[in-house]
Amino acid sequence: MRRIAQNEFGEIAFAVMEHVFAIHNEFGRFFDEQIYKRELAARTSDAVLEAPITVSFDSFSKTYYLDVLVKAGGLFEFKASDGIHPRHRGQTINYLLLADLEHAKLVNLRPEVVQHEFVNCSQRLVNLRDPRPTAAGPHTP
């Protein structure tokens, strides 16, 4: 995976969303998200489905799966829900942090009109783990 600039992600998102809208028009809105993801992968040669991210600490280990990763840097999180909820945004931000990516697109295919929104996270997990003060000075209570 690679961290990409916002303009590159915008270009990827534009191309992917053209396929998403076409799939939604052809298939309708009542399928499981897996169906839509598989069809997107069939139409997009550089899409990886269920890209694994393993988190481990001491004896703990858990693998998360990114819905769709395009060109190794464009994250697309698919939902088939009544709406986009804050927990969906939170999950997407969590995936961005774990994958060290900055930009994602959250896509919900259940409504009559596809819902989609950009999710950005400029923070890096390594920076969030290190509580030491930065060059700006020590933390004050």
Q: Where are the domains of the chain?
A: 6-125
pLDDT for the residue 128:
83
Nearest to 104 by CA among 78, 80, 65: 78
The pTM of the full predicted model, rounded to 2 decimals, is 0.88
Residue 8 reports pLDDT greater than 50: yes
CATH of 6-125, one of 3.30.70, 3.40.50, 3.30.310, 3.40.1350: 3.40.1350
pLDDT per position as a tens digit, 24-80: 999 999 999 999 999 999 999 999 999 999 999 899 999 999 999 999 999 999 999
- The burial class, CB within 10 Å (0-12 / 13-18 / 19+), for 90 is exposed
- The burial class, CB within 10 Å (0-12 / 13-18 / 19+), for 61 is exposed
pLDDT for the residue 48:
97
pLDDT per position as a tens digit, 103-130: 999 999 999 999 999 999 999 988 887 7
Residue 98 reports pLDDT greater than 60: yes
pLDDT for the residue 51:
97
